[in-house]
Structure 1
């Protein structure tokens, strides 16, 4: 994982501004969204991959604790609050760290380094996953995957030797894949390690031609650098 995609959720604009400044100073963090309203954050997370949420506990629309209950284990959290008595309850949700306001940059930095170590460990352990296809569970190693294609309510996972039709969405698959995978079209995710050549309109990998969507081209070219 090159950068940790993070979200800030806090009902205080000044708190958001401070955390945004801190995130900007950390090379391995990438801020993808921030919101004062946790409901807006939930809507964003439904459709966009992210890794880490800086989450305030005391918010009027929805408390941070209930926010975590809704998302479950789908996200990792660093809690931010002015109320230390909520620390124990927060840790019951397997968060990475707990930051007590006012948050100094030094304390913030220690917290995100801890997050980086956690994600690095998971990436090292995360070499395969299981999918259900044709009534059976299949173990698929990430390095074997060429591309993943969206087909209505299903995805087709194409490996070097097999293909698996799975009831899932491309957005859900995207959140499970390592950093070497990238979406290059509304219907395709590819494994960058399998790319043989590329031109303006398509990518060639292991004998397959995958189209490049106009809105995805710049991101792909930046990734290839």
Structure 2
């Protein structure tokens, strides 16, 4: 599942993106924003696979928003101006869609992002964490969930748990967004290991983890609930 966010100050442009995405299986639009600063706050807490981003917006441009993000997402620029095409390549943009764009052209951009995500997934299937004087390799598929506590994390796997000195923001940059999602200020879960969801609790193995109101809507939308 490819997760996306649309950012454009024009409601009609957002409607077009929403309409095109509704016709494509395997892509979910988690949120839409008419204001880049609001989008920035969302993306800092909820990494996604791709953002559809207008460049020329009042007060705070799409380029300024990208500069504020530590983790640079995959970007498909959607703009009425061809002037920014060269600059877009400085941000490793997947594609550059000139408004108005038809569904067929939009589908080409989606195919590009799917190909890039597939390549990245094949390359990044593990993480190394510091444990004393050792560096331990942990494969993502074994991670059940992660609990944050200040400058430390508790990484729970199906074998044991690890407590590296690392913040949530540092770890989020390394996790594949297709596999992990935040459900609480203190919890990130591996979607593949969720057994059930009941009474605002996520059940994984023998653990019950809380879903906070702040992340509930995005989490449920991600799972099509």
Query: Which bin holds the TM-score, normalised by the shorter protein?
Result: 0.7 to 0.9
Unaligned runs of 5+ in 2: none
Q: Tell me, what secondary structure is at the counterpart of 1:46? A: helix
Unaligned runs of 5+ in 1: none
Supply the distance in 2 between the matched residues of 1:30 and 1:214 (Cα, whole angstroms).
Answer: 21
What TM-score comes out, normalization by structure 2 length?
A: 0.79
Q: How many residues align?
A: 220
CA contact (8 A) 1:198 1:204 kept: no
Match of 2:51 in 1: 53
Between Structure 1 and Structure 2, whose CA radius of gyration is higher?
A: 1
What TM-score comes out, normalization by structure 1 length?
A: 0.79
Cα distance change on mapping 1:195 and 1:60 into 2, 3 Å: closer
Q: Tell me, what secondary structure is at the counterpart of 2:22? A: helix
92, 95, 100: which is aligned to 1:97? Answer: 95
CA RMSD of aligned residues (A): 3.4
Match of 2:69 in 1: 71
Match of 1:163 in 2: 162
Supply the distance in 2 between the matched residues of 1:28 and 1:120 (Cα, whole angstroms).
Answer: 13
- Per-residue CA deviations over 1:108-165 (Å, capped at 9, x if unaligned) read 0111111111111211222102334436543221133233223344210123145233
| Greater RCO (Cα-Cα under 8 Å, separation 6 or more) | 2
Supply the distance in 1 between the matched residues of 2:69 and 2:212 (Cα, whole angstroms).
Answer: 32
| Displacement of 1:185 | 6.0
- Per-residue CA deviations over 1:181-206 (Å, capped at 9, x if unaligned) read 4556664444465578998767363x
